[in-house]
Amino acid sequence: MPRSTFPRDRFDDLADGDGRVGAHRAERPRSRGWLIFLWATLATIVLVIVGIFGVLVASGRISTASDPEPTPTVSETTPPAIDTSYSVVVLNGTADEGLAGNLRDQIVALGWSGDIVQTGDSDTTDFAAVARAFGGDGAVVTRLDQFADAMRRSLASDSLFVIDVRVSPSIKTDAYLKLHFGIENQAPSLRKI
């Protein structure tokens, strides 16, 4: 046996022919701490990945089974019911004459009664009169000093109230200029800020 610095004990008395050496006499392994750390790190990474995947599957964000293709089904649909009891006003806002009448005929063909489908030109229609025809009220404003009274009447009304403000077609409103030309509002603010 090789010479050692260990103190003598009962294992030193064994026969040399066995080929066995006691565990207490085995050489000390050289720094395997890094290998244990590597395995622990690898196990931690694998467990974290499996945990994240498990949470995603449990919450339904990932599906492990393939989603079956939806089978198209043919079902009979019923056409939507049209309530023909409502009154209809058709206003032609174009220069083409007769368009409102043509549309009125189509609406009557769909089932509306001819006496509740009204037509007119949008540039000549008295919208206040239309509001009165439908059970509401209205006012026509042609001058700026009439607007305040019309607004007071509108706020005091308990039903439909239309304020028909007649504006010259040659005047471009701030909203029109903003929408079509991108020009900011030119009018002063109507309320204090």
Q: What is the helix (H) or strand (E) element at residue 46, kind and residue range?
A: helix 33-58
In angstroms, the CA 176 to CA 187 distance is 13
The CA-atom distances, in angstroms, between 109 and each of 96, 105, 112, 117 are 22, 6, 7, 11
Q: What is the pTM of this model?
A: 0.34
Tokens of 159: 């039903």
Number of domains, the chain: 2
| Backbone φ, ψ for residue 10 (5° rounding) | -70, -20
Domain identity same for 134 and 180: yes
Domain that holds residue 157: 126-187
Domain identity same for 181 and 132: yes
In angstroms, the CA 117 to CA 109 distance is 11
- pLDDT at site 22: 55
Domain boundary among 96, 125, 154: 125
In the DSSP assignment, the letter for residue 16 is: G
- Is residue 40 in a domain? no
Domain identity same for 130 and 114: no
Q: Which of 90, 118, 92, 93 is nearest to 169 (CA)?
A: 93
- pLDDT at site 65: 72
Tokens of 29: 């392994």
Torsion of CA 98, 104, 108, 131, to 10 degrees: -150
- pLDDT at site 93: 64
Domain boundary among 74, 98, 125: 125
Amino acid symbol at 74: V
- pLDDT at site 48: 96
- pLDDT at site 191: 44
Contact present, 154 and 139 (Cβ < 8 Å): yes
Per-position pLDDT tens, the chain of length 193: 556 677 777 766 766 665 555 555 556 666 677 888 899 999 999 999 999 999 988 888 887 777 677 777 877 877 767 777 777 777 776 667 777 788 788 888 888 888 888 887 776 678 888 888 888 999 988 877 887 888 889 888 888 888 887 766 566 666 667 777 777 766 655 544 4
- pLDDT at site 192: 43
